[in-house]
Amino acid sequence: MRRNGKQGNGWLRLPFWLTYVFLYVPIAVVVLMSFNQNKSPYSWGGFSLRWYGQLLENEKIREGLINTLIVAFGSTVLSTVLGTLLAVGLARYNKSRLVDALSTMPAILPDLVLAIGLLVFYAAVRMTLGLHSVLIAHTVFGMAFVTAVVRARLSHADTSMEEASRDLGATPLTTFMRITLPTLAPGILAGALLAFTLSIDEFVIAFFTAAPTQPTLPIVIYSMVRFGVTPEINALATLLLAVSFTVVIAAQRMTKLSEALS
Amino acid sequence: MTLISIDGVSRRFGEVTALDSVSLEIRQGEFFALLGPSGCGKTTLLRILAGFEQPDDGAVRLDGEDLLKIPAHRRPINLMFQSYALFPHMTVERNIAYGLEREKLPKKEIRERVAEVLETVGLAAQARRKPHQLSGGQRQRVALARAIVKRPRLLLLDEPLSALDKKVRAEMQLELKRLQNEVGITFVVVTHDQEEAMSLADRIAVLQGGKVEQVDAPVELYEQPRTPFVAGFIGANNLFSGKVAENGLDVPGLGVLPAPKGVDGDSALLVVRPEKIRLAEIEPAADEPAAVEAGETAEPEVKEGPAESETKADAEAGDEVKAEEAAEPAADTDAQEVVAKEAEAEEAEAEAEVKEGPVKTDEGAEPKAPKAAADNEAETETEAEVTEDAQEGPVTTDEVAEPETPEATEAAEDGSETPEEAADAKPEVAEAREDVVAEGTPDAQADRGDDLRAAVKSAMTGEVNAEAMAEVVSRAVAGVVAKVVAEVVAEVVADNDAKARAKAEEPSETTPAATPETAPETADETAAEAVLETASETADEAAPESAGENALETAPENAEAPETPSGQEPEAATEESAEPEPESPLRGTVVDVSFYGGTSHIVLRVEGHEGHVLAAAQGSARVEVGTEVAIGWDAADAVLIPA
């Protein structure tokens, strides 16, 4: 493959790299600027961690971060459990394609639609808005992602393993706990990480379903940015980027590992 | 003892009927195979036994208890999956311990049993590895260990060898058999691979389209297919369909082919194994006749059975076969006359027995050679009269004294000295046979025959001289003894007439013990014991063989003696002697000759026959592509399946 790329079609490498530049230059700028001594984004005043320091002192941001982490962890746990169960249930007992497709719908739906829908629903059941409402909202779409990932893993998992477990005398519950879950673990973990990263920087749904007194981090950032992008925001973006990156790479590793195992 | 009884089990998946009222009995301790093409329902049946599938209809009982009510995880049945289904996140040890842990056994016992079974399958060194670190063969052993460690009543194996490469497969085949022996668990293996089934199983059920076609031991399945499907599915076969006629099967476009008796006018399928087919070149100037039918080329009309003797010898004598083949033409001509007499006198019983050994085959085939025998007919008749009085007498006499079955012969001869030597004698005889073949012209043999007479007689009356007997044996093989024996028989018969009659009242037996009982006059006791000895030594071959001798056309006997080729066609043999067979009218052209597995495979094109006719010959058949040949077989070697 690599050799083919070098022979003959070398000029195709240009658009390939241009695409990468287009994708990552803006991000690179943000990261770079977060270390800029100068406040102005137009001049480089030398390397500094000053904005990171300011960031930590910013009360609003700290609050937002805490809110976000609560929502992210809570929704991740919920969506992982529910999503896994849904995936297993779909794989084992469902023959309808429609039901299958509906399970991952929230992941594909426009956030806006989901957000409005949830808001209307909360209003209908007279639920107060707060972190809990954001958490539930994030669980809805997080679950869809977990289901999709676990389901994919299940579809090429060997069901004979579970039969083997039953054959060897294990009850269905033991089989699920000792065989099904461990074999699905990498998929479940990948799904959980995905749900977590998505929840951390989710804006639209949180914006609609959060109480004004308890904004999540993206909402805080949004309100700050309205008065101009400060280097503090750059620093925050860089931190978020680092977290997401780590998680994504970790998730990738997990899946690779699991593939090697099966 | 029946372990599992499956009674009228049906299972449908929507439109598809996977199992259609299947009934089977699986016996305690046997190695049973469910064989069939993919989609025949075998896997469904297996899953019903394991408890992963419920039948729509029917009952499955284990030791008389309803198995269907018990959920999969409580059945004393374990399944080895085709994919092995090892738990990837557990070590070998943990995989094997899993089933025992579910039984809540004490930790110590679990550890001991796991260690023990790891030892049994030879994986003690890999105990702490994960499945993905093992080779295919090792994984299979783990799967097997995991299943047998539970000590189930029944072990199910789903295509156990299909995922292994050829070499490992052969090894595992042996391993499986050994294990089955060792642990004494009833095995049921599901496979689409007939070789696998034939080599592993004691009994095989052939399934097709959700129905059981035939349940039999491998040999019966091969030799006596009962349905057209089995005939076509197990091994290569030549199939002809037609109507049963008076002396064969009338196949449109081909004429009347030799076939066993059937109901006149019924349509039926005639099945002939390639190795039962005899070929003879049609041009008289044929310079290189196929090895198979060297005999025929000389005397095309004579229907003696080298091909047949070949197959039998093949099974019994292995390498000696070739020497045997060569011997036939020479020996035949000589032996013919004699045997014709004998055969007539002795009747069916002797016939059937005659078919067992290579030497015998020659003789037994004689009556099928009416022309050659015609000259002797007059004589024969007188002989026959003499013997008729004491029919049973001489028959049994011959059984012991005649060098017909190789084993019996050697045993009898050597037995006069030391029974222990009986077994060792075989190779010698084989060599002797070759020698005779090499030098022996019919004339030379005839000369020696005179000297032999005394020796043979003494053998029959019990005053045996060991050296003389060794001679007898070696010549016997070439057919000389046959002649001598025939004459001596008449003499001895006269002496033994009275005694024989007394003995004749005894019912014919199916055990080797029959020999001493029925023939004390002719062979001395030691000889008789020797027969027994050989029988027990080579239990597999000898016992059923002698069973075949006396049992004749009793099919049940065959079922119990799966490994012997001898018990195969006794009934056909009887028929044969009753009336000479018409010759097959088939003529064909050699289209292809290939050699593999020590066998020559000859493909023939026959005018008017759809598809090809296959013939097989041990060793190299020197036959050229394009040669015109006459294709024949003994009616006794063919199987007729009523349509």
B104 touching chain A per CB within 8 A = no
A142 and A240 inside one domain: yes
A24 and A124 share a domain?
Answer: no
Q: How far is CA A160 from the centre of its chain?
A: 32
- Whether the Cβ atoms of residue B359 and residue B332 lie closer than 8 Å to each other: no
Distance (Å) from the alpha carbon of B209 to chain A's nearest alpha carbon: 24
pLDDT in tens, B606-626: 888 888 889 988 888 778 888
- What's the pTM? 0.59
pLDDT in tens, B298-346: 333 333 434 444 444 344 444 444 444 444 444 444 444 444 444 444 4
Residue window 221-260, chain B: list those with CB within 8 Å of chain A. none
* Per-residue confidence band for B576, with pLDDT thresholds at 50, 70 and 90: very low
User: Six-digit token pair at A239?
Assistant: 């931190």
Q: Is residue A47 part of a domain?
A: no
User: Residue A55: inside a domain, yes or no?
Assistant: no
Q: Is B529 on the interface with A (CB under 8 A)?
A: no
Partners of A158 on chain B (C-beta within 8 Å) are 83, 85
pLDDT digits (tens, 9 = 90+) for B456-477: 565 555 555 556 566 655 655 5
Q: Which residues of A touch B79 (CB under 8 A)?
A: 163-164, 167
CB under 8 Å to B443, separation ≥6 — which residues?
Answer: none
Question: How many Å lie between the alpha carbon of A160 and the closest alpha carbon of chain B?
Answer: 6
Shared-domain flag, residues A24 and A67: no
CB contact (8 A) between residue A183 and residue B87: yes
| Closest chain A residue by Cα to residue B98 | A168
pLDDT over threshold 70, residue B269 = yes
Q: In which residue are the tokens 């896994």 written?
A: A84
Nearest-CA distance from A261 to chain B in Å? 7
Note whether B73 contacts A171, CB cutoff 8 Å. Answer: yes
Q: Work out the percent of chain B whose per-residue pLDDT is above 90.
A: 24
| Chain B hits for A178, Cβ within 8 Å | 98
- Residue in B with minimal Cα distance to A163: B52
Calpha distance B322→A60 (Å, rounded): 100
Chain A interface includes B98 (CB < 8 A): yes
Domain membership of residue A137 (yes or no) is: yes
Order the strands of the B238-245 sheet from edge to edge. B255-257, B248-251, B238-245, B267-272, B639-642
B334 Cβ neighbours under 8 A, 6+ residues apart: B442, B445, B446, B478, B479, B480, B483
Q: Each residue of B396-425: pLDDT tens digit?
A: 334 444 444 444 444 444 444 444 444 444
Q: Is B505 on the interface with A (CB under 8 A)?
A: no
What count of CB pairs under 8 Å joins A to B?
68
Min distance B606 CA to chain A CA atoms (Å):
50
Instruction: Look up residue B167 and give its DSSP letter.
Output: H
Strand pairing class (B2-13; B57-62): antiparallel
> Domain count of chain A?
2
Q: B131 — contact with chain A (CB < 8 Å)?
A: no
pLDDT for the residue numbered B640: 87
Indicate yes or no: CB of B83 within 8 angstroms of CB of A158: yes
Q: What percent of chain B has pLDDT over 70?
A: 53
Same domain? For A15 and A72 the reply is no
Question: Considering only alpha carbons, which residue of chain B is nearest residue A166?
Answer: B73
Interchain contact, B89 vs A169, CB within 8 Å: no
At B249, the pLDDT band (50, 70, 90 cuts) reads confident
Nearest-Cα residue of chain B relative to residue A168 = B99
Q: Does the distance separating the beta carbons of B83 and A166 come in below 8 Å? A: no
Q: Which of A160, A168, A178 to mutate to test the interface with B (most CBs of B within 10 A)?
A: A168
Tell me: do A108 and A234 sit in the same domain.
yes
**Domain annotation covers residue A212:** yes
State how far the Cα of A128 lies from the Cα of A148, in Å rounded to an integer. 30
Choose among B78, B83, B132: nearest Cβ to A261. Answer: B132
Let me know whether A78 and A205 are in one domain: yes
B599 has which bridge partners?
Answer: B596, B618
B91 interfaces chain A, CB cutoff of 8 Å: no
Q: Which burial class, exposed, middle or buried, applies to B444 when counting CB atoms under 10 A from its CB (0-12, 13-18, 19+)?
A: middle
Instruction: Please answer yes or no on whether B132 and A158 come within 8 Å at the CB atom.
Output: no
Side chain identity at residue A151, one-letter code: R
Give the residue numbers spanning the domain of A109. Answer: 60-261
Nearest-by-CA chain A residue for B79? A167
What ipTM describes this predicted complex? 0.71
Distance from CA of A172 to the nearest CA of B (A): 9
When pLDDT is cut at 50, 70 and 90, the band that residue B186 belongs to is very high
Sign for the pseudo-dihedral over CA of B59, B63, B64, B69 = negative
B99 touches chain A (CB under 8 A): yes
Question: Would you write out chain A's pLDDT as a tens digit for each of its 262 residues?
Answer: 444 445 556 788 889 899 999 999 999 988 988 888 887 777 788 888 888 888 888 888 889 989 999 999 999 999 999 999 999 999 888 888 888 888 888 888 899 999 999 999 999 999 889 899 999 999 998 999 999 999 888 887 778 888 999 999 999 999 999 998 888 888 898 889 889 988 988 999 999 999 888 999 999 888 888 887 778 888 888 988 898 888 878 877 876 766 655 5
Give one DSSP letter per residue of B295-362, joined into a string: HHHH-TT----HHHHHHHHHHHHTTHHHHHHHHHHHHHHHHHHHHHHHHHHHHHHHHHHHTSSHHHHH
Sign of dihedral through CA atoms B103, B106, B107, B111? negative
Domain boundaries B2-229, corresponding CATH code: 3.40.50.300
Q: Chain A contacts of B70, Cβ < 8 Å?
A: none
Distance CA B248, CA B262 (A): 8
**Cβ B73–A183 below 8 Å, yes or no?**
no
CATH number at residue A172: 1.10.3720.10
- Cβ–Cβ of B85/A158 closer than 8 Å? yes
CB atoms near residue A245 (< 10 Å): 11
Q: What is the pLDDT of residues B563-573, one digit of tens each?
A: 444 433 343 33
- Residue A167 inside a domain? The answer is yes
Contact between B85 and A183 using a beta-carbon 8 Å cutoff: no
Cβ contact A169–B146 (<8 Å): no
Q: What distance in Å separates the CA atoms of residue B440 and residue B438, rounded to the nearest whole number?
A: 6
The answer to whether residue A174 is domain-embedded is yes
Name every chain A residue with its beta carbon within 8 A of the beta carbon of B88.
Answer: 183, 261-262
Pairing of strands B77-80, B65-66: unpaired
Boundaries of every domain in chain B: 2-229, 237-279+585-642, 304-578
State the architecture of B237-279+585-642 in CATH terms: Beta Barrel (2.40)
A205 lies in a domain? yes
CB contacts under 8 A, B 10-39 vs A, are none
